């Protein structure tokens, strides 16, 4: 009886003991997604994934069975100043009410051509259009969010600013909205004021009549809002006539040779701030360009220059008399020296 039990225990021990491979060690059984079969060269199942090289190789013989494997980890190229440098999805933007962080059902995916390529039936398209409407409405339940949606649409469609400056204008409007400044005021007016102030800070000339026409508000309302917003955000800045030189030269299709006499005239009157400060910078720029055109022998009429600068011919002639008087006085003083 004891011998039988001993032999049975020995058999159980033999069955419980795993078989050893070559060298007396347990064979490795390391599998990866899509790679569970033995290696074609050595017959072992020991797959390694090199994340740096993007390769799947056999751990025994080094056979490369797959290359250019996408990295499943985070992409460490975030330009933000946060602690976490991982980046998933597009960066946040102020030109969208939700900063672009919410998932959106794109209407372009539900068009007939695109949807048919995805194998969607007409009934499925109708269902997804309804879901898209519900999704958009659920994101704009609060009045402030609806306000931001409309304001950002104004900035993107009517400001005419480069994308970085659109971001800054949207950021200023979001700040004003958070402080309660927009309440009781026109959304179009406040966005137009933010657009003008951002352009002025970056020395990108934008005239009040042009912005007022783009945002469909009056020049009087826009001027008042510009003063109010600049006082609230402390964005005071004196705009010089030289900031309009490039724009007016381009609009008048002048030759590049006009710039030399124009810069010489500006350097002459710039130290005399009492002459040009307090006057419309567009008018002073128009007067200087008109005189530079005469000196460069590429004349333009007063009406052409006034049409570009949005000033009257009376204003232009008055500024020309002031500039001519200043230049004559400077020349007389040099002659006396």
Nearest CA among 195, 233, 244 for reference residue 217: 195
List beta partners, residue 64.
57
82 occurs within a structural domain: no
How remote is the C-alpha of 203 from its chain's centroid?
18
Q: For residues 206 and 219, what is the distance between their CA atoms, to the nearest angstrom?
A: 13
Kindly state whether residues 130 and 156 are assigned to the same domain. Answer: no
Kindly state whether residues 128 and 185 are assigned to the same domain. Answer: no
Is 118's pLDDT higher than 60?
yes
195 occurs within a structural domain: yes
Kindly state whether residues 265 and 213 are assigned to the same domain. Answer: no
Q: For residues 258 and 238, what is the distance between their CA atoms, to the nearest angstrom?
A: 25
312 occurs within a structural domain: yes
Q: What is the pLDDT of residues 202-221, one digit of tens each?
A: 888 788 888 999 999 999 99
Largest CA distance in the chain: 139
Report yes or no: 320 and 287 within 8 Å, Cβ to Cβ.
yes
Is 3's pLDDT higher than 50?
no
Q: For residues 193 and 153, what is the distance between their CA atoms, to the nearest angstrom?
A: 15
Residue by residue, DSSP assigns 293-333 as: HHHTT----HHHHHHHHT--HHHHHHHHHHHHHHHHHHHHH
Q: What is the number of domains present in the chain?
A: 3
Q: For residues 196 and 200, what is the distance between their CA atoms, to the nearest angstrom?
A: 6
Kindly state whether residues 253 and 227 are assigned to the same domain. Answer: no
Q: For residues 72 and 78, what is the distance between their CA atoms, to the nearest angstrom?
A: 17
What are the backbone angles phi and psi of residue 49, rounded to the nearest 5°?
A: -115, 110
- 333 pLDDT band (50/70/90 cuts)? confident
Q: Which of 233, 260, 290 is the last residue of a domain?
A: 233
Q: For residues 316 and 285, what is the distance between their CA atoms, to the nearest angstrom?
A: 10
What are the backbone angles phi and psi of residue 193, rounded to the nearest 5°?
A: -65, -40
Q: What is the pLDDT of residues 147-156, one digit of tens each?
A: 888 899 899 9
Kindly state whether residues 163 and 205 are assigned to the same domain. Answer: yes
Kindly state whether residues 201 and 117 are assigned to the same domain. Answer: no
170 occurs within a structural domain: yes
DSSP letter assigned to residue 17: S
Q: What is the pLDDT of residues 292-307, one digit of tens each?
A: 988 888 888 999 999 9
Geometric angle at alpha carbon 329, from 325 and 332, rounded to 5°: 140
Q: Which of 175, 208, 233 is the last residue of a domain?
A: 233
Kindly state whether residues 156 and 226 are assigned to the same domain. Answer: yes
Element (DSSP H or E) covering residue 123:
helix 122-139
Pull the structure tokens for residue 289.
Answer: 């360009």
List beta partners, residue 46.
30
63 occurs within a structural domain: no
Kindly state whether residues 204 and 254 are assigned to the same domain. Answer: no
Kindly state whether residues 151 and 226 are assigned to the same domain. Answer: yes
Q: What is the pLDDT of residues 62-78, one digit of tens each?
A: 888 888 777 666 555 55
117 occurs within a structural domain: yes
Nearest CA among 76, 95, 70 for reference residue 161: 95
Q: Which of 217, 233, 249 is the last residue of a domain?
A: 233
Q: What is the pLDDT of residue 16?
A: 39
Kindly state whether residues 229 and 248 are assigned to the same domain. Answer: no
Q: Which residues of 217-250 are buried (b: 16+ CB within 10 A; e: fewer)?
A: beeebbeebbebbbeebebeeeebbbbbbebbbe
List beta partners, residue 30.
46
203 occurs within a structural domain: yes
43 occurs within a structural domain: no
Kindly state whether residues 216 and 256 are assigned to the same domain. Answer: no
Q: Crossing angle for the helix pair 187-201 and 143-158, nearest 10 degrees?
A: 50
Kindly state whether residues 162 and 228 are assigned to the same domain. Answer: yes
Q: What is the pLDDT of residue 90?
A: 64
What CATH number is given to the structural domain containing 245? 1.10.472.10
How remote is the C-alpha of 17 from its chain's centroid?
66
Element (DSSP H or E) covering residue 55:
strand 55-58
Question: What is the bridge-based pairing of β-strands 55-58 and 45-50?
Answer: antiparallel
Residue ranges making up the domain that contains 116: 107-139
- 168 pLDDT band (50/70/90 cuts)? very high
Of 62-76, 171-185, 222-236, where does mean pLDDT reach its minimum? Answer: 62-76
């Amino acid at each position: 009886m004891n011998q039988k039990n001993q032999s049975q225990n020995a058999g159980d021990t033999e069955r419980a003991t795993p078989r050893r491979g070559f060298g007396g060690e347990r064979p490795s059984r390391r599998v990866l997604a899509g790679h569970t079969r033995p290696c074609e060269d050595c017959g072992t199942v020991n797959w390694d994934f090199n994340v740096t090289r993007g390769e799947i190789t056999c751990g025994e013989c080094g056979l490369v069975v797959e290359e250019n494997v996408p990295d499943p980890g985070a992409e460490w190229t975030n330009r933000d100043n946060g602690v976490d440098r991982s980046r998933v999805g597009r960066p946040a933007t102020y030109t969208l009410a939700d900063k672009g962080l919410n998932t959106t059902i794109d209407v372009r995916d539900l068009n007939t051509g695109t949807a048919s390529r995805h194998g969607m039936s007409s009934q499925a398209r109708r269902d997804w259009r309804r879901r898209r409407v519900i999704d958009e409405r659920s994101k704009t339940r609060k009045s402030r969010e609806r306000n931001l949606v409309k304001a950002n649409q104004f900035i993107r469609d009517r400001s005419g600013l480069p994308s970085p400056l659109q971001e800054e204008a949207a950021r200023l409007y979001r700040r004003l909205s958070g402080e309660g400044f927009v309440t009781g005021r026109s959304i179009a007016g406040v966005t137009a004021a933010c657009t003008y102030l951002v352009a002025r800070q970056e020395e990108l000339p934008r005239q009040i009549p042009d912005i007022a026409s783009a945002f469909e508000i009056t020049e009087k309302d826009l001027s008042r809002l510009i003063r109010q917003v600049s006082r609230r955000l402390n964005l005071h800045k004196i705009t010089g006539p030289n900031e309009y030189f490039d724009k007016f030269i381009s609009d008048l299709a002048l030759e590049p040779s006009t710039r030399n006499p124009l810069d010489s005239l500006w350097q002459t009157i710039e130290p005399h701030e009492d002459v040009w400060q307090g006057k419309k910078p567009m008018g002073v720029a128009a007067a200087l360009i008109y005189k530079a055109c005469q000196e460069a022998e590429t004349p333009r009429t007063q009406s052409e220059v006034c049409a570009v600068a949005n000033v009257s011919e009376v204003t232009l002639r008055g500024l020309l008399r002031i500039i001519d008087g200043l230049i004559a006085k400077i020349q007389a003083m040099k002659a006396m020296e």
